[in-house]
Structure 1
Amino acid sequence: MEQGSAREGVRPAYAPGAFSRAPADGRTRECRVPEQARVERAGVERAGVERAGVERAGVERPGGRPADGEQARGEHTHSEPPAPRVVQRHSVRGQILDALRAALVDGELVPGQVYSAPALGARFGVSATPVREAMQRLAVEGAVEVVPNRGFRVSERGPRELAELAEVRALIEVPVMLGLARTVPAHRWCGLRPLAEATVTAAAVGDRAAYAESDRAFHRAVLTLSGNEQLVAVADELHRRSQWPLVSGPATRRADLLADASEHTALLDALVSQDLAVVQALVREHFAGADR
């Protein structure tokens, strides 16, 4: 970005090649200014406009550094303030997306019901724009369907879809976990203990939204040990979809959450001890219970 000069017509007091390059041996070589440049500079100094004219015109000082307060032509500076609207909008959209996902898991957004962006915006105290953007994301994930001129309908799912999701998750995760049980050292599994305990904490208070997040975090951490990022992304998306409520289905009971959470801690114990038979039984039981 180029700053304007205080005076028009002031020419830079140097010519191409005026400042010599450093020698190959790394020693500093004296910078010599041609005679014509020295004469021009002397004239500028006598006129008292060295800073007002030459420096403001963007003349570099010896060594290639602009004078204090200057900005080189075309140079980007990090002092420029960011666009607050963009940052704020993305922040709000992310918060609304998290809130809508929690509302889906908790059953506050009822399957089959249509919700408008303005109405949800009023509920969350924001404009309709971030709500609409978040809902578009949920539509891509399959959580809602776009209803033209009305809003978004929460997708209706039956037990069959939930069972199919559990089957696909088992096909992906069970062999991976069994393979990891044979190769991952015990101390790596111990590092996942806080994630397993977080699921127990959320289940104990019956917080379905918090349990859903901690449950996925635990499974992501386990699968991440495989080093396959694509597998982790696919499995996490399937896991998220399996957490949406069924149409006219009963709310998840605290006892069910506690049972699932206890399987996480038991699985870690088996992985630490490398008890493959127990690992296989627990993993298959965990996914068999995922469709209940």
Structure 2
Amino acid sequence: MSTPNLQHLGQRETLRDRVREALRAAIISGELEPGVVYSAPTLGARFGVSPTPVREAMLDLVKEGLVVAQPNKGFRITEVSEQDLDNLAAVRLLIEPPTVRTCVPVIPEADFPALRELAQAIVDAVERGDLVGYIRADHVFHLTVLGYSDNRHLVDVVSDLRNQTRLLGLSPLLHSGRLGHSAAEHHALMDLIEARDAAAAEELMRRHIAHVRGLWAGGTEDAP
């Protein structure tokens, strides 16, 4: 499993922003384990940066509830209960599939190539064995699609729900090769978007979120 190159995570972002996004993705993917305390120097060495931007980024994540500061020790990764994960998935199911359905007819054809590139970035991350990159690329793709709803508040809510999710089953899926099939679902969604098949796109999103709560979170295929 490769550590992300922070230089490639966004040229317009500050180092603190890039570190925060990398840490958030590492938490969601389970690379940073729930309940474990990590020091800023240790994480700085892991991500190839000094401890200062790590501390600053972790303080941002404290506000989001992803980590808890441990005085003189570092930061403990917040644990999320199975009930919490069920609830997060339930809310996402209420919001994302119908929103995708409304977005499909209004996405400009001229935007299809850029969306394809975002979908391919997810596949590329899997091929590199980069779970942090996968989480980040997946986040960008889905929020970009939902952005065509022209509802900033909805996108913000979904972003927060996704950030609170834990996908602890991703590493086994990566090593088994099955994560590649899941990554390819994003191209399948693009096929439906380009075909303007809103109903099928909505149904695909329902299955996609079921994967998130099920296999991707270390559960079973038919969860939640």
Q: 1:282 to 1:92 in 2, by over 3 A?
A: closer
Residues 201-249 of structure 1 show CA distances to partners (whole Å, capped at 9, x for unaligned) of 212333211111110111121011122222222212222222x354xx6
The answer (yes or no) to whether the contact 1:159–1:291 under 8 Å persists in 2 is no
**1:1-292 → structure 2 map (5 Å cutoff):** 91-105=14-28, 107-121=30-44, 128-242=51-165, 244-246=166-168, 251-254=171-174, 255-292=177-214
SS in 2 for 1:194: helix
Answer 1 or 2: higher relative contact order, Cα 8 Å, separation at least 6. 2
SS in 2 for 1:146: strand
Residues 118-156 of structure 1 show CA distances to partners (whole Å, capped at 9, x for unaligned) of 544565666544332211111112211122343311111
Residues 174-199 of structure 1 show CA distances to partners (whole Å, capped at 9, x for unaligned) of 11111122343444444411111111
Distance in 2, matches of 1:281 and 1:153, equals 37
Aligned residues: 200
Distance in 2, matches of 1:276 and 1:107, equals 33
Residues 239-272 of structure 1 show CA distances to partners (whole Å, capped at 9, x for unaligned) of 2222x354xx673412342232221111111121
Is 222-231 or 158-167 further displaced after alignment?
A: 158-167
Q: 1:157 to 1:253 in 2, by over 3 A?
A: same
Q: 1:108 to 1:175 in 2, by over 3 A?
A: closer
The answer (yes or no) to whether the contact 1:271–1:279 under 8 Å persists in 2 is yes
Uncovered stretches (5+) of structure 1, i.e. residues with no partner: 1-89
Distance in 2, matches of 1:162 and 1:119, equals 29
Distance in 2, matches of 1:106 and 1:176, equals 25
Distance in 2, matches of 1:277 and 1:186, equals 18
Q: 1:160 to 1:260 in 2, by over 3 A?
A: farther
Distance in 2, matches of 1:126 and 1:204, equals 25
Q: 1:225 to 1:115 in 2, by over 3 A?
A: same
The answer (yes or no) to whether the contact 2:68–2:76 under 8 Å persists in 1 is yes
Q: 1:267 to 1:98 in 2, by over 3 A?
A: closer
Distance in 1, matches of 2:129 and 2:47, equals 23
The answer (yes or no) to whether the contact 1:200–1:261 under 8 Å persists in 2 is yes
SS in 1 for 2:171: coil
Uncovered stretches (5+) of structure 2, i.e. residues with no partner: 1-12, 215-224
SS in 2 for 1:142: coil
- Aligned-residue sequence identity (percent) comes to 44
Q: Supply the AA of the counterpart residue of 1:233.
A: D
SS in 2 for 1:209: helix
Q: Supply the AA of the counterpart residue of 1:153.
A: R
Structure 1 or 2, whichever has the larger Rg, is 1
Name the structure where helix makes up a greater proportion of residues.
2
Residues 142-174 of structure 1 show CA distances to partners (whole Å, capped at 9, x for unaligned) of 211122343311111243322322221221211
The answer (yes or no) to whether the contact 2:29–2:170 under 8 Å persists in 1 is no
The answer (yes or no) to whether the contact 1:105–1:208 under 8 Å persists in 2 is no
SS in 1 for 2:76: strand
